[in-house]
Amino acid sequence: MTERFAGRVAVVTGAGRGIGRSVAERLAADGAAVAVVDRDAAPAEEVAAAITAAGGRAIAIACDVTDPAAVRAMAERTIAQLGEIAILVNNAGILRSTKAAEIDPAEWHLVVDANLTSAFLCAQAVQPSMIRGGYGAICNLASMAGRATSTLGGVHYTTAKAGVLGLTRHLAREWAPHRITVNAISPGIVDTPMVRASRDAEGLEAVRRSIPFQRFADPAELAALIAFLVSDEARYITGANVDIHGGELIIA
Give the residue, 189 or 185, on which the prediction is more confident: 185
Return the active site residues.
157
What would the mean pLDDT of 197-213 be, rounded to a whole number? Answer: 85
pLDDT reading at 88 higher than 80: yes
Is residue 152 over pLDDT 70?
yes
Of residues 207 and 58, which shows the higher confidence score?
58
**pLDDT, average across residues 145-151:** 89
Kindly report, residue by residue over 58-80, the tens digit of the pLDDT: 999 999 999 999 999 999 999 99
- pLDDT at residue 230 above 90? yes
Note the CATH number of domain 9-239: 3.40.50.720
Separation of alpha carbons 184 and 180, rounded Å: 13
pLDDT more than 90, % of the chain? 81
Mean pLDDT of the chain: 95
Sheet strand arrangement including 9-13: 57-62, 33-38, 9-13, 85-90, 136-141, 180-187, 241-244
Could you report the per-residue pLDDT of 17-38, keeping only the tens digit for each? 999 999 999 999 999 999 999 9
Provide the pLDDT for residue 246: 85
pLDDT per position as a tens digit, 43-62: 999 999 999 999 999 999 99
Between 211 and 169, name the one with better pLDDT: 169
Which residues partner with 143 through β-bridges? Answer: none
Task: Say whether pLDDT at 100 is over 80.
Answer: yes
pLDDT of residue 78: 98
Q: What is the Cα–Cα distance from 15 to 88, expressed in whole angstroms?
A: 12
Angle at 71 between CA 66 and CA 74, to 5 degrees: 140
- Is the pLDDT score of 245 beyond 70? yes
In terms of pTM, does the model score above 0.75? yes
All structural domains of the chain with their residue ranges: 9-239
